[in-house]
Amino acid sequence: MEIVAFGVQADERPLLERAFSGPHQIRALQVCLNRDTAPIAHGYEVVSAGVNADLGADVLQVLAAGGTKMIAQRSTGFNNIDLEAAADLGMSVGRVSHYSPHAVAEFAWGLALAVNRRLVRAAGRTRQFDFRLDGLLGRDLYGRTAGVLGTGRIGEAFTRIAHGFGMNLLGWDVAENPRCVDLGMTYVPRERLFAEADLITLHVPLVADTRHLVDAAALAAMKDDVILINSSRGGLVDTRALVETLKAGRLAGVGLDVYEEEVGFFHRDRSLDVIDDDTLARLMTFANVLVTSHQAYFTEEAVGQIIEATVANVEDYLAHRTNENMLVTRGQLPAAAR
């Protein structure tokens, strides 16, 4: 069987092609899956989608009309997929329930350290042989308070690193992680976390209850010199409210690997285009803000695990088996999702 994969990065392509060599072949495309590109999948029973694919009802209808019966998404999040529409169309939908938590946690820390110590500004200056220290003053993180929203695998990995830095630990989640408690974490209401943390990091999924988790009220409750990091999903932060907060001269630094309107921008070269997203353009003007292109997951280990799980999802679908990654199985939603 030949499978078509959308949103394949250059470094990912050889790994994906090698994983699917043998009984299956894969057609790896860089273009993102959306309503304009969906007709490319005509005739393919199995379609693999990248993290920024648009799998709303209209796109799924185009895919189903072309013969697609299985969507194998190469990411953990699935807020971009209309699962009820997929079920109504009799489709199967799989995702990757987990991969290396260290990839994202370490990258989140990279963002935190970069904005705290002004590394991007410093590197830009030294390339111009400007070796002044003006505007590069950072802060010790030792003894300060890290606030971790979401203490699953990734949040726990972030917490372990924070513990190594000698930070005080506050956590917020629907359930406590005993391993984080063993590290000294105190679970508190999120309002207290927002008010007391010096470094805030987001590691929760994007669902209805967490959309704009960091809104204008949350930002107003934070310390003026807090560092805010988001390497989870862009929709967790109200970006317009964030811009207004930054315009007011608040927040020591912000590191964003995700953006709520990133589709159409991230994982593409837009350097020669006019950027018509005023919020994103304004965000990029702040010297204390670092934006990266949804790459926290992008390590050899994590990508390898994502591809391995994707292959297993396809094999299980073809063998009429199910597994923990299946969100819809041949038109049937799990009871918890109904």
CB-based contact 85:56 (threshold 8 Å)? yes
Secondary structure letter of residue 33 according to DSSP? P
pLDDT in tens, 258-310: 999 998 899 889 999 999 999 999 999 999 999 999 999 999 999 999 999 99
* 88, 105: one domain: no
CATH code for the domain in which residue 7 is found: 3.40.50.720
Distance between CA atoms of residues 148 and 168, nearest Å: 11
Mean pLDDT to the nearest integer, 174-184: 98
Residue 338 confidence (pLDDT): 45
* Polymer length in residues for the chain: 338
Q: How many domains does the chain have?
A: 2
| pTM for the full predicted model | 0.91
> What CA dihedral angle connects 95, 68, 57 and 294, to 10 degrees?
40
Residue 241 confidence (pLDDT): 98
* 55, 174: one domain: no
Residue 329 confidence (pLDDT): 94
* Amino acid residing at 229: I
Domain boundary among the residues 291, 308, 325 is at 291
Secondary structure letter of residue 214 according to DSSP? B
* 259, 327: one domain: no
Active site residues: 233, 262, 294
Mean pLDDT to the nearest integer, 44-50: 96
Phi, psi of 229 (to 5 degrees): -125, 130
Domain range for 212 is 101-291
